[in-house]
């Protein structure tokens, strides 16, 4: 047996174990008949896949006779197994992480901090330089509520408990009695999951989404942050790097949950205020638990003169201080409750700033170290200090996001009220002159009468009220004000003025988001023009943050065109800010799927332009990715360390500058790719009808995934569809169109030219950016299956134009796969990724029936006005396929 096979034997054993227990539950709950039906379908799918050609008629013959209720139960069975397979695979990753073993074929697990430090040493980078780079290092992860998490929270809890049981079963000292008990408990949990409705029946509110984010912190990240810091501290010590400050934490968290109002009418100023208050309540509650633990531990009497001067003579001076801290935290919590519920705020002095709590804890820390009790200070007190420096007194920094035209409309109403004309009709020069003059003016711009006027309509009032919430809440719990669809300098200055109008004393940093192809291409010029304005440059002299959009740029230009535009924009922006001497932080708006910027952490950071990371990175973590990467403490520890290691590596050993011929070749590839992508997406008249007939794009709106509507506006074509459902729909039928359309044609054109062929192979060999493009393309194409897409067409359409387009798309997909084979020289897409190859193969016999079921259910539902059973079954197939592919949007 090979090392790889032996290493992954426990994974196969876990999958088999969970499958056996699910089978037992099916027999017990639904009878032998359903179990036999599921097994017959599964075996047919296995045999069909092993023979290389899918026997569609055989599988369909097994499914067609089933009534609606049985279809639902069959769908649930296959979906449940796929979720169990995910548990086993996630647990296997944890198992290998604990053993510090590399996960072969997984590019996100091949470089931890230990390996990075060893490589830096080999390259002659001195420990002191590493320490100087780490001290200001900043990794900020922004949790977002984008609707890609299809699994209900109650089921996530059960799945986490199952993973804990698998870990217990791994214990080498387990006896037979314990093993039997754990198996029984595992079956109980699988039964509980089977008896639970998989589908969320009510759409969550923005406050619900925020509470979900708080739960991730409470259940996982609160434990993970101190653990990862201890791991990092140990690795640095082994590498001979001097200790960093005791409370040093390079990781921060922010959130869009309750602040992202772009296209979401459900996020209002009232919602944002409530979320900010709830976050402070949760922070106080979590710190209160820490303080209770410290009260139990810090019973010693030896204390510094500084501490005793504060407490007076005492046998337990640490507890004296901690009791006061506990009382203030309880008051803080009660005050937040009263503000949320609209009750009178109780008297008492709570904590209003993080510094207040930090000063109390640092007093205890200094005293312990002064009297020779540093080992105690390095215990739970150190963990609490690190949590405070990571989460603050507000738990998360909340970003605000709004679309640029909403700000324009608000200022247009103001200028019309003042009799100055319509701001929205002015050219860029007029807008800038007005904005700069008002930013420097000391007089108020509007009076109370404006708010009572007809010009201050609902949308305008909402923008202004949001800025008033910013003013009243203060800066500590707020992060960036992100402007969607930012195009011009005035878009940025407008938000600065709106904050001034609301009386914001310490304004939120204003972050333009460049997300279409044109906006990315113009980003460097836009920011250069802003930096040429003395007032603006002075405002950002300590640092500027800019956001790069991945989802909408890929929807606009396709995967390859967007990737090159993102790279080029970052290059231009990095050079512009270096020229002006202003530190730059790039905020990457990535999603989970490849076509929305998703990629392994190290690959993502090391493929950025040289100098663009510079010790600072900000990244969105979206939807199901939050659960996969941070839902369990041990997994979160690993992923947080990866971010720190990759940021350090990208800063000290940045990738090489691309050669001139590589740039020229990349532009040629992009031109062909964008043209090919847009030819289908924008110009083919059958594309919209194909999407809405053959994919479940229309049905996705029935899933209560998130608080935000699937469309920016009702009706409309592709341009009105959000990037997430656009990707989700194509993923469900395994066509994965947004991730490869146009790219295959570009590669084919290059490979057919001998000179271009040599260049692209050189790029794939030596350029990290292009290596990342190729690797991610391989991964997504491995999940694509044109035969599955053909099933949907056969069942759902007889329109000749849609059939024509389907044939074209499948031919282009095949050509893209062939081009990739020619480029890499690998016969199998997954020759370099055996883990994914095994993962896909073990899932196919379960996803294949779900795909057939989904097409059948879509057809039946479209013939009826409504059918609760069929609708439930369809939603189960959507969730099951998403689980099987480990990807939604």
Query: What angle, rounded to 10 degrees, do the helices at 68-98 and 868-885 form?
Result: 20
CA distances from 485 to 268, 406, 480, 519 (A): 20, 11, 15, 8
CA distances from 697 to 558, 714, 749, 753, 806 (A): 19, 14, 32, 39, 16
DSSP 495-519: HHHHHHHTT-SSPPEEEEEE-SHHH
**Closest residue by Cα to residue 829 from 868, 795, 779, 788:** 779
> In degrees, to the nearest 5, what angle opens at C-alpha 640 toward C-alphas 639 and 645?
95
DSSP 529-566: HHHTSHHHHHHTTT-EEEEEESHHHHHHH-HHHHHHHH
**Closest residue by Cα to residue 107 from 746, 830, 853, 650:** 830
Among 555, 588, 629, 851, the active-site one is: 555
Contact 676, 169 (CB under 8 A): no
Q: Which helix (DSSP H) or strand (DSSP E) does residue 254 occupy?
A: strand 251-255
Query: Could you give the CA distance from residue 564 to residue 696 in angstroms, rounded to a whole number?
Result: 30
Among 92, 97, 146, 588, the active-site one is: 146
CA distances from 218 to 295, 395, 634, 772 (A): 20, 10, 14, 34
Query: Could you give the CA distance from residue 661 to residue 762 in angstroms, rounded to a whole number?
Result: 10
Query: Could you give the CA distance from residue 368 to residue 382 in angstroms, rounded to a whole number?
Result: 11
Q: Pull the structure tokens for residue 479.
A: 């992060």
Active site residue 8: no
Query: Could you give the CA distance from residue 877 to residue 888 in angstroms, rounded to a whole number?
Result: 12
Please write down the long-range contacts of 688-692, taking CB distance under 8 Å and 24 or more positions apart.
688/717, 688/718, 689/799, 689/801, 689/802, 690/797, 690/802, 690/805, 690/806, 691/718, 691/729, 691/730
3-state secondary structure of 587: strand
Query: Could you give the CA distance from residue 323 to residue 169 in angstroms, rounded to a whole number?
Result: 42
Active site residue 146: yes
List, by residue number, the catalytic residues: 146, 555
């Amino acid at each position: 047996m090979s090392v790889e096979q032996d290493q992954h034997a426990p994974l196969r054993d876990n999958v088999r174990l969970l499958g056996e227990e699910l089978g037992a539950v099916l027999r017990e709950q639904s009878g032998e008949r359903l179990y036999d039906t599921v097994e017959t379908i599964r075996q047919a799918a296995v045999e069909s896949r092993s023979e290389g050609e899918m026997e569609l008629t055989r599988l369909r013959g097994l499914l067609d006779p089933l009534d609606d209720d049985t279809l639902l139960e069959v769908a649930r069975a296959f979906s449940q197994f796929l979720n169990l397979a995910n548990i086993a695979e996630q647990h296997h990753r944890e198992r290998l992480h604990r053993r510090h073993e590399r996960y072969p074929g997984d590019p996100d697990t091949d470089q931890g901090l230990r390996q990075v430090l060893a490589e830096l040493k080999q390259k002659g980078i001195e420990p002191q330089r590493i320490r100087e780079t780490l001290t200001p290092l900043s990794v900020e992860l922004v949790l977002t509520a984008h609707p890609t998490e299809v699994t209900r929270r109650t089921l996530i809890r059960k799945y986490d408990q199952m993973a804990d049981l698998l870990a217990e079963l791994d214990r080498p000292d387990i006896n037979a009695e314990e093993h039997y008990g754990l198996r029984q408990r595992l079956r109980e949990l699988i039964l509980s999951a089977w008896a639970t409705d998989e589908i969320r029946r009510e759409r969550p509110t923005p406050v619900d989404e925020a509470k979900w984010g708080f739960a991730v912190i409470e259940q996982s990240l609160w434990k993970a942050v101190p653990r990862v810091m201890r791991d990092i501290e140990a690795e640095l010590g082994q590498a001979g790097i001097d200790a960093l400050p005791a409370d040093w934490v390079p990781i921060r968290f922010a959130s869009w949950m309750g602040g992202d109002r772009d296209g979401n009418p459900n996020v209002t100023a009232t919602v944002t205020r409530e979320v900010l208050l709830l976050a402070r309540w949760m922070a106080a509650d979590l710190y209160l638990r820490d303080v209770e633990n410290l009260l139990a531990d810090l019973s010693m009497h030896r204390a510094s003169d500084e501490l005793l001067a504060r407490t007076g003579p005492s046998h337990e001076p640490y507890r004296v201080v901690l009791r006061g801290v506990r009382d203030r935290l309880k008051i803080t919590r009660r005050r937040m409750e009263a503000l949320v519920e609209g009750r009178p705020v109780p008297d008492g002095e709570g904590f209003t700033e993080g510094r207040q709590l930090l000063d109390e804890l640092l007093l205890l820390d200094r005293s312990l170290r002064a009297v020779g009790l540093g080992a105690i200070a390095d215990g739970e007190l150190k963990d609490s200090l690190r949590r405070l420096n990571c989460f603050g007194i507000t738990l998360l920094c909340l970003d605000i996001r709004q679309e640029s035209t909403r700000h324009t409309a608000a200022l247009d109403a103001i200028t019309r009220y003042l009799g100055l004309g319509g701001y929205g009709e002015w050219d860029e020069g007029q807008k800038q002159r007005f904005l700069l003059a008002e930013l420097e003016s000391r007089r108020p711009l509007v009076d109370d009468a404006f708010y009572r006027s007809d010009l201050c309509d609902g949308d305008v009032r909402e923008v202004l009220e949001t800025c008033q919430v910013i003013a009243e809440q203060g800066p500590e719990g707020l992060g960036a004000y992100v402007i969607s669809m930012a195009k011009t300098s005035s878009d940025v200055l407008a938000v600065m003025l709106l904050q001034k109008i609301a009386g914001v004393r310490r304004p939120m940093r204003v972050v333009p988001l460049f997300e279409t192809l044109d906006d990315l291409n113009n980003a460097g010029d836009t920011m250069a023009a802003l930096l040429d304005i003395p007032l603006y440059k002075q405002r950002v002299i300590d640092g500027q943050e800019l956001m790069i959009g991945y989802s909408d740029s890929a929807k606009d230009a396709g995967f390859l065109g967007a990737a090159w535009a993102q790279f080029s924009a970052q290059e231009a922006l990095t050079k512009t800010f270096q020229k002006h001497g202003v530190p730059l932080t790039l905020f990457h708006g990535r999603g989970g799927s490849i076509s929305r910027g998703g990629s392994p952490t190290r690959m993502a950071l090391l493929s950025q332009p040289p100098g663009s990371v510079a010790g600072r990175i900000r990244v969105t973590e979206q939807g199901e990715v939050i659960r996969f990467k941070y839902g369990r403490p041990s997994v979160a520890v690993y992923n947080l360390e990866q971010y720190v290691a990759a940021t350090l590596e990208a800063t000290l050993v940045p990738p090489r500058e691309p050669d001139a011929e590589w740039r020229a070749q990349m532009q040629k590839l992009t031109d062909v790719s964008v043209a090919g992508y847009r030819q289908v997406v924008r110009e083919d008249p059958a594309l919209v009808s194909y999407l809405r007939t053959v994919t479940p794009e229309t049905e996705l709106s029935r899933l209560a995934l998130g608080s935000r509507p699937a469309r920016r506006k009702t009706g409309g074509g592709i341009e009105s569809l959000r990037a997430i459902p656009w990707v989700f729909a194509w993923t469900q039928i395994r066509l994965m169109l947004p991730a490869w359309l146009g790219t295959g044609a570009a590669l084919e054109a290059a490979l057919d030219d001998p000179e271009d062929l040599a260049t692209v192979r050189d790029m794939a060999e030596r350029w990290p950016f292009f290596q990342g493009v190729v690797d991610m393309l391989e991964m997504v194409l491995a999940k694509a299956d044109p035969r599955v897409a053909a099933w949907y067409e056969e069942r759902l359409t007889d329109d000749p134009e849609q059939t024509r387009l389907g044939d074209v798309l499948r031919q282009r997909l095949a050509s893209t796969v062939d081009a990739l084979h020619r480029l890499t020289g690998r016969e199998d897409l997954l020759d370099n990724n055996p883990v994914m190859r095994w993962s896909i193969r073990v899932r196919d016999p379960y996803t294949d029936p779900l795909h057939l079921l989904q097409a059948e259910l879509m057809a039946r539902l479209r013939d009826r006005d409504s059918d609760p059973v069929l609708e439930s079954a369809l939603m189960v197939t959507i969730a099951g396929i998403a689980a099987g592919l480990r990807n939604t949007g």
